[in-house]
Structure 1
Amino acid sequence: MKDEGQAQAFRSAAEAVDWITGLMPVIGIRPGLERMTLLMERFGNPHLRLKFIHVAGTNGKGSVCAYLTHALRQCGYDVGTFTSPYLTSYSNRLQYNERDIPEDTLLQLANRIKPEADALAGTEWGPPTMFEVTTALALLYYGTVAYPDYVVWETGMGGRLDVTNIVTPVVSVITNVGHDHMDMLGPTLADIAREKAGIIKPGVPVVTTELNPETLAIFREKAKSCRSTMYSLGEHFHCETVSAAEDEQTFAFSGPFRDIPSLTISLNGIHQQKNAAAAVMTLEVLRQYYALIVEDGDLAEGLRKAAWPGRLEMVSREPRILLDGAHNPEGMEALAAALRDIYRFDRLNVMIAMMPNKNHEHSLRHILPMVDLLVITEPDFHKKMKADDLADVARRLRGNTGRPAEIVAEPDWRKALSLLTGTEDASSPGTLHVVTGTLYLIADVRSWLLHGTKSEKGW
């Protein structure tokens, strides 16, 4: 490593973040662990001294991370939380005890990483990617500065070749397998399942809420080959709805070690009960294997307080504006179910933007039949689907149903937001406005509505 007396590469955290995020459009995504392994060796492998809960899945992994973080914190543990993408600022994704990494720490660690990244760039392996540098930053933060009791560790995409897979966790979690990142992970659900199963490690227990028998068979095969105990929803643990209303739902949990008759969560959507149950089962495994101390009251309070921005989040009451990052068919199906089961409205206006590599027809089919006005826009991001192209897809699907009654394409998301909320009955209690699709759109709209500024969104 470079001598600390040498001139710093960056003078501010903003400069460091600009360097890191600037790697994305230049280098892109390059799956594999070789560069990450070499980079960590240069820093003495700080990840080897940490306890990780590794979370993968197509949908729900962010919510599971939120439940785990809040529950562990409520139980008195220090927790690092590494997630992606971020909705407001880059530092959101590197948290310790629910607070973003301090700017001075980010600057110090970036200045440690930069010369090693430059040295790696001169080898046959080439320069590290943005996600690799960010992951290295997280490992240095948790392993050399913060020293949390547990790190809740979310994959970027996939699992087997995801750079977060450099760690050996104390427990692995796989929420589900859906149609997402198919350009990187493979064209079928079986292909995607095999990639996500790659986080299962020898002897490390795994928790999953996947229900598809074919996918589960892939997970079981991997767990068996690793001699890892697998706990699957519907077989080893269960959750049953007690009550469900907007901003509050209660479920009963039953598992191999004990039953909990009543747990309440504030995140919306029946699917969140599965995510919370996955977190509870994970904590139950840690109680059995690692003597984790979890009092019933702390568990209940931690789950109840858990929040996850941009997922069925009501950011405005007058007018009613709901944000949900449903960016694939499974996510859109969950959104449609929540709209049917939880929210009350006479008119539904939806604004949406998507990335070009998503399964758009299957996504839109879930929600179009209930929409009155569909405003299609584009995120401020270097990769995006053109609003006119997505509008063509929506118009083809409208068919004989005649829904949505009106489809508008407006590439500028600010103008699109004005169109969404500019109807005569926009502020009526019976009108619900939903902003959905890619999280890059959700990030900007959320920051604009809550803070009057754009976000620093990204991976």
Structure 2
Amino acid sequence: MFHSYEEALNWIHSRLRFGIKPGLTRMEMMMEKLNHPEKQIKTVHIGGTNGKGSTVTYLRNILQQAGLTVGTFTSPYIEQFNERISVNGKPISDEEILSLANKLFPIVEEMDKMEIGGPTEFEIITAMSFYYFAYMNKMDIVIYEVGLGGRFDSTNIISPLLSIITSIGLDHTAILGDTYAQIAFEKAGIIKKKTPIIAAVKQIDAQNVIVKQANEMEAPIYLLDKDFTIDEYYSKPSCESFVLKSPLFRWTDLQITMFGKHQVENASLAVIGAQLLRDMFESINEDSIRKGLFQSKWPGRFEIISKSPFVVVDGAHNEEGVEALVDVLVKRYPEKNINIIFAALSDKKTDKMIAKLDQVATTITFVTFDYPRASPSTLLYEESNHLLKEQNDNWKEAILKQLERLEEENMLLITGSLYFISEVKAFWKNFKK
């Protein structure tokens, strides 16, 4: 038994050594021992490569504006571990984490001695969320974000009201496959029998995989650019505005405050999801959709943490993420000198990411950070062809140096791994004080 939040957290994090173990057997065993909490909750399941977290927050805010109590399960966390299990956007308390850890501990201890093996950190956190939302704090609806892939992800034991697959990119290729079609096959694993699926998958071979799986599961499918389309999209100074059309409706001048065409696409998935949920939750209406979209913010996604000096953090941790980031920079800040600080994980293919950042950077500094899989800054530095590149093993020092040099009209952009962005946000909070 644990007597403090810190003890509980240390135990949960200690399970990291078990790594990633795909498969649902351990989850199913934990669910059985917990009296199947996953069957007691109404859920929405959101998978994909990029945009999962943003789509979660758009849909959550729409549902909240409709007066619903909404649970979310997301990863990774940006500022606080408890964020992973949240109610109406607020992380659960330290005391609740402690209580959940004590509930799971004897089950995990028992499983550690079995042939099946003990659950991983992510499996334990997922099981905690199911128990919490089923038995400790009942929600109207819970939105589950897939951790990795979909087919064998520990969240994939739910029977959701609907599923959403955002965009597909070449990420986690060592586990999920190195083609869009192979990755799409893993993501399509969240499609359930006769359960609506909404998707923003653009690559034709990947799209074909999604459609084939939907047809096999007799799941109604709604595809971006086919069953619903984004029209009249343009950037205003403080928001993005767009029209969303389908054969059944036309929403004009929808507005979001997260920047980029990719965020417009994420928001459109949430709107279609909200439309499909209206039969079950009659309080969802045009007002809740408009307000929910406009009020949505998601930490670490083109987040302006300071206006003077102008500092932005963005968790662009794969090629598609960097592409979306560069698109925002080119469209919104063509006149600014952009000074970039970049860190990544060693299991990511960073050469194309760095090539794209090189194109928009005035200066670029490569750093590392204290994380088991963090890439050495020297390796990142070698992949860059920028004339004004630097390398620094002390990322805090690199930030302070850039801030000293930063002129009023310029920008400091800190980007890369979300784990890195999490550390930067904590540092910035103390730095501001």
What TM-score does the superposition give when structure 2 sets the normalisation length? 0.97
Of 384, 408, 422, the residue aligned with 1:428 is 408
Q: CA deviation at 1:344?
A: 4.5
Of 414, 419, 423, the residue aligned with 1:440 is 419
Question: What is the match of residue 390 of structure 1?
Answer: 380
The reply to whether residue 293 of structure 1 matches residue 278 of structure 2 is no
Alignment length, in residue pairs? 432
Name the CA distance, whole Å, in 1 between partners of 2:282 and 2:211. 26
Question: What is the match of residue 366 of structure 1?
Answer: 356
| Contact 1:159 1:198 (8 Å CA) reproduced | yes
Name the CA distance, whole Å, in 2 between partners of 1:241 and 1:450. 38
The reply to whether residue 343 of structure 1 matches residue 333 of structure 2 is yes
Q: CA deviation at 1:246?
A: 4.2
Name the CA distance, whole Å, in 2 between partners of 1:265 and 1:137. 32
One-letter amino acid of the structure 2 residue matched with residue 385 of structure 1: S
* 3-state DSSP of counterpart to 2:231: strand
The reply to whether residue 67 of structure 1 matches residue 47 of structure 2 is no
Question: What is the match of residue 191 of structure 2?
Answer: 200
Question: What is the match of residue 400 of structure 2?
Answer: 418
| Contact 1:172 1:200 (8 Å CA) reproduced | yes
What TM-score does the superposition give when structure 1 sets the normalisation length? 0.92
Q: CA deviation at 1:291?
A: 4.7
| Contact 1:109 1:137 (8 Å CA) reproduced | yes
Q: CA deviation at 1:242?
A: 4.0
One-letter amino acid of the structure 2 residue matched with residue 305 of structure 1: Q
One-letter amino acid of the structure 1 residue matched with residue 407 of structure 2: S
Deviations 1:340-381 (A, max 9, x none): 111254311000001111121121222211211111001221
* 3-state DSSP of counterpart to 1:161: coil
Q: CA deviation at 1:422?
A: 2.8
Name the CA distance, whole Å, in 2 between partners of 1:211 and 1:293. 32
One-letter amino acid of the structure 2 residue matched with residue 10 of structure 1: F
Q: How does 1:254-265 map to 2 (within 5 A)?
A: 254-265=245-256
* 3-state DSSP of counterpart to 1:390: helix
Deviations 1:61-116 (A, max 9, x none): 10000001111001100100110000111101100122111222211111010001
Question: What is the match of residue 13 of structure 2?
Answer: 21
* 3-state DSSP of counterpart to 2:144: strand
Percent of aligned positions that are identical: 32
* 3-state DSSP of counterpart to 1:19: helix
| Contact 2:274 2:289 (8 Å CA) reproduced | no
Unaligned runs of 5+ in 1: 1-8, 399-403, 454-459
| Contact 1:231 1:237 (8 Å CA) reproduced | yes
Q: How does 1:228-247 map to 2 (within 5 A)?
A: 228-247=219-238
* 3-state DSSP of counterpart to 1:14: helix
One-letter amino acid of the structure 1 residue matched with residue 416 of structure 2: G
One-letter amino acid of the structure 2 residue matched with residue 225 of structure 1: E
Question: What is the match of residue 344 of structure 2?
Answer: 354
Deviates more, 1:378-387 or 1:31-40: 378-387
| Contact 1:269 1:342 (8 Å CA) reproduced | no
One-letter amino acid of the structure 2 residue matched with residue 273 of structure 1: V
Of 297, 302, 308, the residue aligned with 1:307 is 297
Question: What is the match of residue 277 of structure 1?
Answer: 268
Q: CA deviation at 1:47?
A: 1.0
Quickly say closer, same or farther: Cα 1:344–1:314, change in 2 above 3 A.
farther
Quickly say closer, same or farther: Cα 1:313–1:281, change in 2 above 3 A.
same
| Contact 1:315 1:450 (8 Å CA) reproduced | no
Quickly say closer, same or farther: Cα 1:160–1:320, change in 2 above 3 A.
same
Question: What is the match of residue 216 of structure 2?
Answer: 225
| Contact 1:326 1:437 (8 Å CA) reproduced | yes
* 3-state DSSP of counterpart to 2:115: coil
Name the CA distance, whole Å, in 2 between partners of 1:210 and 1:12. 44
* 3-state DSSP of counterpart to 2:284: coil
